[in-house]
Amino acid sequence: MNELKFYSKVNDYKNYSMKNKIVLVDDDRNILVSVSMALEAEGFEVMTFNDGESGLKGIIEQKPDLVILDVKMPRMDGIEVLSKLRELSQIPVIFLTSKDDEIDQVIGLRMGADDYITKPFSQRLLLERIKVLLRRQEMGNGSDEGDKKEDQVIKYGDLHLDDSRHLCAWKGMPVNLTVTEYLLVKSLAIRPGHVRNRDQLIDMAYGENIYVDDRTVDSHIKRVRKKFKKIDDEFDKIETLYGIGYRYREE
Phi first, then psi, for residue 190 (nearest 5°) are: -70, -15
Contact indicator for 45, 21 with CB cutoff of 8 Å: yes
pLDDT in tens, 137-191: 776 555 444 333 445 788 889 999 987 667 899 999 989 887 788 889 999 999 9
Residues of the chain with CATH 3.40.50.2300: 21-140
Strands (E), the chain: 5-12, 21-25, 45-49, 66-70, 93-98, 115-119, 148-156, 159-162, 167-170, 173-174, 196-197, 238-241, 245-248
Q: What is the pLDDT along the chain (251 residues), one digit of tens a residue?
A: 444 544 333 333 233 235 899 999 999 999 999 999 999 999 999 999 999 999 999 999 999 999 999 988 888 999 999 999 988 888 899 988 876 666 666 677 777 788 888 888 888 888 888 887 887 777 655 544 433 344 578 888 999 998 766 789 999 998 988 778 888 999 999 999 999 998 888 887 776 656 666 677 888 898 899 999 999 999 999 999 988 999 999 87
Distance, CA of 177 to CA of 108 (rounded, Å):
15
The answer to whether the pTM exceeds 0.85 is: no
Just give the CATH number of 5-9+144-248.
1.10.10.10
Residues of the chain with CATH 1.10.10.10: 5-9+144-248
Q: Which amino acid is at 55?
A: G
Distance, CA of 95 to CA of 214 (rounded, Å):
17
- Pairing of β 196-197 and β 21-25: unpaired
* Predicted local distance difference test score (pLDDT) of residue 120: 81
Phi first, then psi, for residue 15 (nearest 5°) are: -80, 135
CATH superfamily of 21-140: Response regulator (3.40.50.2300)
Residues comprising the chain, all counted: 251
Residue 19's contacts (CB-CB under 8 Å, 6 or more residues apart) are 43, 44, 45
Distance between terminal CA atoms of the chain? 6
Number of H helices, E strands in the chain: 8, 13
